[in-house]
């Protein structure tokens, strides 16, 4: 299948996934409204929150992500080698040159963020610059350029902010429920409707608790990780096509995947899906050089988890070397 066809299919799947985000916001607002006896107020409140966070993620998302990753912007004078690589690949990709950011950590990795190719950023770690040769660095940057050109960065950036918002809202609701602020309102609503009303209110309370405390943030993360996984294969193929040398990216993935560590500044559930490989050991079953064993299904094949931020690294390398 042509890369352009993959892009179209990914866009359709993305619209469906964002529809699920809207559904999550609506479901939480509706059930919480029933729980407190004020559906309209909660509907308006959650609608405003969703719109505001969407606007923030669309216009300021790259700044939020740069802050979360600990990345700082660098100039051409400070990092001429990095900018020279980015300039050449930007010309080849036919897009504006993104601003370069550096994360001061020895763990090699890279990411891209922004709302469009016109205001994108590319971030790399100090470890990536120090550990990869020129061809491997170009391959990694080309992968990130593919994310930019395919508008993956817009989707990923918005996804990070929306998923984080749902998780944060769920956390706040859990604290409020624990301290009884909503409990009094819910129980009050039930008492006005009599005995059967109390039974219905109790069921609604249970549903609200499940959705707000468990299901909503869980589903938000699953959607976010699904969005991330679906774009890595395409970015690998597009990046390899851009450089004309798939082996360089395969070699870079081998090096990078075996050097990730837990408890680094990159190991953040909210942003790990943005990086070229998962920046923690939780997904190291598929990492080349990992000491952990592969996660196997009953059929004997490696199994992809709903909570994996990236497809299997070994599979990505095999696909690149078969191009």
Structure tokens at 272: 């790990």
β-sheet bridge partners, residue 121: 99, 113
In this structure, the number of other CB atoms found within 10 A of the CB of residue 191 comes to: 11
The rounded distance, in Å, linking the Cα atoms of 30 and 40 is 8
Query: Of 295, 22, 5, nearest to 162 (Cα)?
Result: 22
Opening angle at CA 267, ends 245 and 250, nearest 5: 15
The rounded distance, in Å, linking the Cα atoms of 2 and 20 is 28
The rounded distance, in Å, linking the Cα atoms of 129 and 180 is 52
Contact 133, 85 (CB under 8 A): no
In this structure, the number of other CB atoms found within 10 A of the CB of residue 39 comes to: 15
Catalytic residue among 5, 135, 136, 144: 144
The rounded distance, in Å, linking the Cα atoms of 42 and 25 is 10
Active site residue 241: no
Query: Of 256, 253, 222, nearest to 235 (Cα)?
Result: 253
Question: So which residues are the catalytic ones?
Answer: 144
């Amino acid at each position: 299948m042509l890369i352009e066809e993959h892009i179209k299919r990914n866009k359709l799947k993305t619209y469906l996934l964002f529809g699920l985000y809207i559904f999550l916001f609506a479901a939480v607002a509706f059930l919480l409204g029933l729980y407190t006896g004020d559906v309209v107020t909660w509907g308006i409140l959650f609608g405003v929150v969703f719109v505001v966070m969407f606007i923030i993620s669309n216009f300021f998302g790259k700044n939020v992500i740069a802050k979360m990753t600990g990345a700082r912007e660098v100039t051409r004078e400070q990092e001429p080698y990095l900018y020279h690589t980015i300039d050449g690949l930007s010309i080849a990709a036919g897009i504006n040159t993104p601003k370069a950011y550096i994360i001061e950590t020895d763990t090699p990795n890279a990411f891209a963020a922004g709302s469009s190719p016109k205001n994108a950023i590319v971030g790399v770690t100090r470890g990536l610059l120090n550990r990869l040769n020129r061809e491997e660095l170009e391959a990694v940057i080309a992968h990130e350029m593919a994310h930019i050109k395919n508008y993956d960065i817009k989707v990923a950036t918005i996804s990070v902010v929306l998923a984080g918002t749902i998780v944060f809202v769920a956390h706040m609701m859990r604290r409020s429920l624990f301290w009884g602020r909503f409990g009094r309102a819910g129980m009050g609503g039930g008492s006005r409707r009599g005995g059967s009303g109390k039974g219905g209110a109790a069921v609604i309370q249970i549903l609200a608790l499940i959705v707000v405390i468990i299901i909503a943030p869980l589903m938000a993360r699953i959607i976010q990780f699904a969005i991330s996984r679906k774009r890595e294969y395409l970015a690998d193929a597009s990046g390899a096509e851009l450089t004309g040398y798939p082996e360089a990216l395969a070699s870079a993935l081998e090096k990078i995947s075996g050097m990730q560590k837990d408890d680094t500044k990159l190991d953040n559930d909210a942003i790990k899906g943005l990086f070229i490989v998962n920046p923690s050991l939780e997904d190291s079953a598929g990492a080349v050089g990992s000491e952990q064993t592969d996660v196997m299904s009953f059929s004997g094949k490696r199994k992809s988890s709903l909570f994996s931020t990236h497809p299997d690294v070994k599979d990505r390398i095999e696909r690149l070397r078969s191009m």
